[in-house]
Amino acid sequence: MERKTALVAGANGIIGKNLVEHLRADGNWDVIGVSRKSGLAVDLLDAADTRAKVGALTGVTHLFYAAYQDRPTWAELVPPNLAMLTNLVGALDPAALEHVSLMQGYKVYGAHLGPFKTPARETDAGHMPPEFNVDQQRFLERWGGAWSAIRPSVVGGTALGNPMNLALVIAVYASISKELGLPLRFPGQPGAYDSLLEMTDAGLLAEATVWATGQRGAFNIANGDLFRWRELWPKLAAYFDLDLAPPLRMSLVDVMADKAPLWTDIAARHGLTASYADVSSSWEFGDFVFGWDYDMFADTSKSRRAGFHTYVETEQMFYRLFDEFRKARVIP
């Protein structure tokens, strides 16, 4: 089989990290990671810097784009996130580039705005802009080369320092609850406890992303099962040997704002490797997810019909991720 070269943008994130590992394990890829912190350090917002550093690369056959720049408002998200993609695609050798993979999400369906049609399908009508995911896809459509857009649900992975790691939110929240002698309370909105949800395992997502290099268009990608926190939360409490108490709405951003000294003490006593800064970057995302008092899931039958059949049981995914956090001494 002919060897391929992958350029992974956002290589240190919860999605990019697993994708890099998957590509390297495959054995048929040369992998170049792009991030602001390690690998090939490129400022993708700077077109000149991107051309100078990425343009020097030869033979990149596949671009896997999972980079993201946060901003305070939805409208402010569009210019930087569109610019990074256009700068990167424009810097690569078009004669060598065979496929661009764009990482999206359910924001395409308006999932971040409130209750939306479920199950969401790739053919659903769009919503009122601004939405950078849509602008990025339109750029690729105009670009004219081969591309795929991958749309996962909330991604389960082990990357630290990531602003969207729900498994880490739960693991650290449970560990602190245990340290304080408290039961595990669901902290979300009334109604969120009973909403129907799904997740996407980072390993499954990496597999699907590589699979989709042989496809065209957009694909919803999820584990393949649905759950309600009402059913799953007691099982997560049991994993951490915690009692369960009724849900109580609270902002994790607020209640965790003073927990750094406590975590420092926990880390010292248990020999943990992660500082509070390492494990506290996703509280806002936790509040966001636990605020979904409406169903959040999509139809993945398009990818199934096209040949992608990998399945991950979400409950077991959480246990595995918690086990990995413990093995890496991230949590007690």
Q: Is the pLDDT of residue 126 over 80?
A: yes
pLDDT of 163 reads 93
For residues 39 and 13, what is the distance between their CA atoms, to the nearest angstrom? 12
**φ, ψ at 256 (rounded to 5°):** -95, 0
Specify the domain boundaries for CATH 3.40.50.720 within the chain: 4-155+199-221
Domain 4-155+199-221: what homologous superfamily? NAD(P)-binding Rossmann-like Domain (3.40.50.720)
For residues 119 and 300, what is the distance between their CA atoms, to the nearest angstrom? 9
DSSP codes, 284-301: HHHHHHTT--S-B-B--H
pLDDT of 39 reads 82
**96-110 average pLDDT score:** 98
pLDDT of 137 reads 98
- 25-52 pLDDT, tens digit per residue, is 999 999 999 987 778 999 999 999 999 9
- 184-206 pLDDT, tens digit per residue, is 999 999 999 999 999 999 999 99
Least confident piece of the model among 29-43, 75-89, 160-174, 194-208: 29-43
pLDDT of 35 reads 84
pLDDT confidence tier of residue 10, bands split at 50, 70 and 90: very high
Residues contacting residue 73 through CB under 8 Å, at least 6 positions apart: none
Q: Which of left, alpha, beta for 263 (phi over 0: left; psi -120 to 50: alpha)? A: alpha
Percent over 90 (pLDDT), the chain = 97
For residues 91 and 78, what is the distance between their CA atoms, to the nearest angstrom? 20
**231-239 average pLDDT score:** 98
pLDDT of 24 reads 97
pLDDT of 36 reads 75
**φ, ψ at 77 (rounded to 5°):** -70, -25
